[in-house]
Structure 1
Amino acid sequence: MKRVFWLIIPLIVALIFSPQKQNNTCKSYLSYFNIFFSSDCYHNPDQDDDILGIIQRHVGVHETHEVQTDDGYFLTLFRIPRQNPRGVIFFQHPLTTDARVWVGQYNESVAFLFWRAGYDVWLGNIRGSHCCKKHVSLDPTEAAFWNFSFHEIGYYDNHASIEYVKQQTGGSKIIYLGYSLGGTSGMVYASTRDKEAVDSVKMMVVITPTTHLQLSCTSLLKYLLFISYNLQGVVSLADPLFVFNRQDAWYAKMGRFLVTHFPCKKCMLYFSYLFVGFPEDAFEPDLINMFVRVHMSEYPLKMLYHYYQMYVVDGIFQRYDYGEEGNLLQYGTKEPTSYLLENIKVPVYIVSGANDNLDCPNAIEKLYNLLPKNSTAHGKLMVEGFNHLDYAYGRYRNEKVYFKILQLLDKIHLDDQNCLH
């Protein structure tokens, strides 16, 4: 007990009396116990900055664009422009975060890696995320604003963003790279707007796309979703907006503060691994507080419930189930309609992790087998030892994933050049 006391006292003193630019990053997990005084810790300005400040610091050029969806939401897109680019690539982020996830690895960030490889980089943001809370008639304080799931992200947000990027870059086809929710919504877009996708998208790279969640997947998430889904009335009384992770809520602010300053970072990681799988390669220590900051974006519980419904039907990729009466009104059938993956004509490259217990290997294999053979001509990449988070924070994310994606894109680019000659 005395040992714990002497560990906590320096932390409290440092929080009160330390200068404004206090240490927020350490090179080892053990050093977080003495973060304000250890020579292994330092202040990283990226953690306290917004996405444009981070891009400016590491690249020096950026643009901000706004696009309106067909159903009235305004989306903010960030661009890292490149003159005479090798290609145009559009990134769509996972759930719980926004475009910051692509610049959340400091100078080694994914967005910067592709920009330095010669690509014109566009970073998408979905409705309701940190910088996308505008609508032509709805306000974020209204429940109707949050009445969406990954279907609307794919059908409306991806459509509006991709067409805008295509128009801004001279009409050439773009490369779409979606991670988790970004992969789910990418598959929604490519299957529901299949003709448009062929005209606008050169290739889709979907990283752990969570389209066929199965009961055999062992993530703790499915059990928590079961409880929440079956207690929707209680949850709605607690939060009439039905929004998870609300930024202005006192409990969210307190949670962010406590998690950021909680010294036992490995304890926090081990808890998260129950949801995303235990990796073989360590989560980089100097990214842990950035992870907390980046993964704090709001989203509706309807989004989570849509994913839960896929668990219930054991891996069928279908639209939201409103019940028999609601389905008849929405779809004209008693059961929700499935997404027609056989309609997809765009080349799809699937990246997944062998240690992912959220979007487990069986679920990925099911998606791969349901896609048309022509669209999977480039094959797929199964990364040994990776869990659901390693694509953003794993020690070997670039070496095992993004360098290989760039190699594939280079090969496709070379083949296209050879065809022209």
Structure 2
Amino acid sequence: MKVYLIVILAVVPLISGAPPSLTRRSSVTTQTLVEQYGYPFEEHSVQTSDGYILGLHRIPYSGRVESDEPRPVAFLMHGLLCSSSDWVLSGPDYGLAFVLADAGYDVWMGNARGNTYSREHATYNPFFKKFWAFDWHEIGMYDLPAMMDYVLYYTDEEQLTYFGHSQGTTTFLVLNSLNLRFNTKIKSAHLLAPVAFMENMEGPLVDMAALLLGQPNFLPEIFGDMEFLPNTKAMEMLGYSACCDKSPFQSLCANVIFLITGFDYENLNYTLLPEITATTPAGSSINQIYHFLQEYNSGFFRQFDYGFARNSLAYGSTKPPKYPIEKIDLPIFLYYSDNDYLSSVVDVHKLMRTLKDTTLRRAYRVGHPKWNHLDHLWGMNIRELLHDAIMEDLESMKDS
């Protein structure tokens, strides 16, 4: 109990976030990471229909590949508390954005509202709770359409190939179950560590957090609509000093990550830890955490539970509606693993049974017993254990 109390006392001050003057882009950014390896970089801004201004990052081509052929569009969407930096942190040989650019794709990387690159709004600023009044439902229903429509218009392409990790898979399922027009705009979707059903999520703090915050009670009402774990200069400095190769605390940094995602000492690139901590966490709304904990408690993949009274006003029923993912009608490829605390094998299998038989093209189970949630981004053996399978699946779609 003392350990839980210490964790709560450490985290609660961070929930309210930092004022905008203290929250800034890290000196390690998606742009610096891309350009240091000699790849071209572009930054675009997109405004959603509800006023959020999102940063959209692009690697238009790879200097390693000489080709005059049209480049198909790849759109990559990050997970909870993450950003576009996830896809390039591990460099050209391991970062999926670089791998796709080298394979001839025009690569675009999205950033969800509230993260390091998407902290602006047409009306509100991050000082106000109104700015943080969203969860991953809104990211799926507003952010993804705004960004993907912009990408398709800008490139004059009719379709794109979607890649999502963790919450980037959740928001994909939200959008494409409720807005069927994107079923024709996405050629195929490749979902890494898919998160929909979460009843079998693991971790030492999950049960306590779900009990306190995963149901409609006074705590979400009081602490809702707030920033959670913004990216600050202090966090970057702490990460570099505590997590670098010469630090005696480097193993502690790794264990903090493992407590949440699953222990895998074999596949973690320890040298990368300072860059990971410099860019992650990238900030989110606390409501996103509440919504995921509700999924764990309920065993359903459904919209936010406000409680009987507010549900009746919002949805016309006392319970929130389920996302009709059985309506999704586009080729989907899943990639999952045995040691993922957040995307368990049992829950992925439930997702597989819920999707249409004609929709699910392949569910690839990574062939390493310790592969965890974040190894899908930065695992040491990611090329042979994951990327080769992704490239096989992309090849299978070329004639479709």
Query: Aligned pair 1:345/2:329, yes or no?
Result: yes
Q: 1:321 aligns with which of 301, 305, 308?
A: 305
Equivalent residue for 1:65? 44
Q: Give, in angstroms, the shift of residue 234 of structure 1.
A: 6.8
1:265–1:375 CA distance, 2 compared to 1 (3 A)? same
Q: How many residues align?
A: 363
Structure 2 residue identity aligned to 1:213? M
**Structure 1 CA distance for aligned equivalents of residues 242 and 226 of structure 2:** 23
Q: Give, in angstroms, the shift of residue 240 of structure 1.
A: 8.0
**TM-score, structure 2 length as denominator?**
0.85
Segment drifting more, 61-70 vs 361-370? 61-70
**Structure 2 CA distance for aligned equivalents of residues 107 and 394 of structure 1:** 14
Query: Aligned pair 1:199/2:178, yes or no?
Result: no
Helix, strand or coil for the counterpart of 1:368?
A: helix
Equivalent residue for 1:30? none
**TM-score, structure 1 length as denominator?**
0.81
1:322–1:92 CA distance, 2 compared to 1 (3 A)? same
Q: What are the superposed Cα offsets for residues 65-114 of structure 1, whole Å, 9 maximum, x if unpaired?
A: 11111111111111111363442100000111110111101232221111
Query: Aligned pair 1:405/2:390, yes or no?
Result: yes
Q: Give, in angstroms, the shift of residue 189 of structure 1.
A: 1.0
Query: Aligned pair 1:380/2:363, yes or no?
Result: yes
Q: Give, in angstroms, the shift of residue 218 of structure 1.
A: 2.3
**Structure 2 CA distance for aligned equivalents of residues 317 and 60 of structure 1:** 39
Equivalent residue for 2:351? 367
Equivalent residue for 2:285? 300
Structure 2 residue identity aligned to 1:406? M
Q: Give, in angstroms, the shift of residue 236 of structure 1.
A: 8.0
1:226–1:137 CA distance, 2 compared to 1 (3 A)? same
**Structure 2 CA distance for aligned equivalents of residues 404 and 92 of structure 1:** 19
Equivalent residue for 2:4? none
Q: Give, in angstroms, the shift of residue 398 of structure 1.
A: 1.8
Query: Aligned pair 1:226/2:225, yes or no?
Result: no
Kept in 2, the 8 Å contact 1:148–1:302? The answer is yes
Q: Structure 1: give runs of 5+ residues left out of the alignment.
A: 1-46, 417-421
Q: Give, in angstroms, the shift of residue 258 of structure 1.
A: 5.6
Query: Aligned pair 1:270/2:270, yes or no?
Result: no
**Structure 2 CA distance for aligned equivalents of residues 92 and 260 of structure 1:** 26
More helix by share: 1
Equivalent residue for 1:122? 108
Segment drifting more, 67-76 vs 264-273? 264-273
1:256–1:224 CA distance, 2 compared to 1 (3 A)? farther
Equivalent residue for 2:121? 135
Helix, strand or coil for the counterpart of 1:106?
A: coil
Q: Give, in angstroms, the shift of residue 403 of structure 1.
A: 2.1
Structure 1 residue identity aligned to 2:251? K
Equivalent residue for 2:12? none
Equivalent residue for 1:334? 318
Kept in 2, the 8 Å contact 1:246–1:298? The answer is yes
Helix, strand or coil for the counterpart of 1:339?
A: coil
Q: Structure 2: give runs of 5+ residues left out of the alignment.
A: 1-25, 62-67
**Structure 1 CA distance for aligned equivalents of residues 312 and 143 of structure 2:** 25
Segment drifting more, 118-127 vs 389-398? 389-398
Q: Give, in angstroms, the shift of residue 223 of structure 1.
A: 2.7
Query: Aligned pair 1:147/2:130, yes or no?
Result: no
Equivalent residue for 2:90? 105
1:306–1:84 CA distance, 2 compared to 1 (3 A)? same
Segment drifting more, 262-271 vs 336-345? 262-271
**Structure 2 CA distance for aligned equivalents of residues 390 and 128 of structure 1:** 24
Equivalent residue for 1:174? 160
Query: Aligned pair 1:189/2:189, yes or no?
Result: no
Greater Cα radius of gyration, structure 1 or 2: 1
Segment drifting more, 196-205 vs 177-186? 196-205
Q: Give, in angstroms, the shift of residue 382 of structure 1.
A: 0.8
Kept in 2, the 8 Å contact 1:59–1:112? The answer is no
**Structure 2 CA distance for aligned equivalents of residues 104 and 219 of structure 1:** 25
Q: Give, in angstroms, the shift of residue 255 of structure 1.
A: 5.1
**Structure 2 CA distance for aligned equivalents of residues 366 and 120 of structure 1:** 33
Segment drifting more, 78-87 vs 66-75? 78-87
Equivalent residue for 1:260? 243
- The RMSD of aligned alpha carbons is 2.3
**Structure 1 CA distance for aligned equivalents of residues 188 and 102 of structure 2:** 20
Q: Give, in angstroms, the shift of residue 133 of structure 1.
A: 1.0
Q: 2:269 aligns with which of 270, 284, 288?
A: 284
Kept in 2, the 8 Å contact 1:190–1:346? The answer is no
Q: 2:30 aligns with which of 40, 51, 57?
A: 51
Q: Give, in angstroms, the shift of residue 235 of structure 1.
A: 8.4
Kept in 2, the 8 Å contact 1:141–1:241? The answer is no
**Structure 1 CA distance for aligned equivalents of residues 161 and 167 of structure 2:** 17
Kept in 2, the 8 Å contact 1:277–1:388? The answer is yes
